[in-house]
Amino acid sequence: MAEKEKLGIFVATNKHLDHVIGVVKAAKKAGKELVIFLTHDGVLMSQDPKYQELADLGPEEMTLCNVRWEELGLKGKPIPAGMGEKGLATQSRHVSLIGKCDRYLVL
């Protein structure tokens, strides 16, 4: 069986959570695997009550920039839903995610 096409989503703003959720729903419906990396102000999406809806959609991998997490004063808070123990990552992980994707969307 052929591997599913993988879509990566890079989010650097916290202004479009509804759009991110919509893209993830459409990609899932189309049978795509998803990886998401939150950085810069996109990290703040993880603190929005509506973020849980994104986590519940079950991207195969979702991580956020640990450096920005700490800069925003979030160090010590629980790791956001859907991220697991390796959810706080470096830009090195981001580069690794890009290499795994067939397509990469920047929001």
Instruction: Split the chain (107 residues) into runs of 10 and give each run's mean pLDDT.
Output: 82 95 96 95 96 94 95 94 88 86 93
Nearest to 96 by CA among 3, 8, 14, 16: 8
Radius of gyration, CA atoms only, the chain: 13
* Residue 1, pLDDT score: 46
Q: Which domain holds residue 79?
A: 6-106
The Cα 38–Cα 76 span in angstroms is: 18
Determine, yes or no, domain membership for 90: yes
The β-bridge relationship of strands 33-38 and 6-11 is parallel
> What is the rounded (10 degree) CA torsion for 71, 77, 82, 88?
40
What pLDDT is recorded for position 85? 76
CATH code, domain carrying 77: 3.40.1260.10
Total domains in the chain come to 1
What pLDDT is stored for residue 2 in this prediction? 53
Q: Can you give the pLDDT at residue 69?
A: 96
Q: Kindly state whether residue 1 falls inside one of the protein's structural domains.
A: no
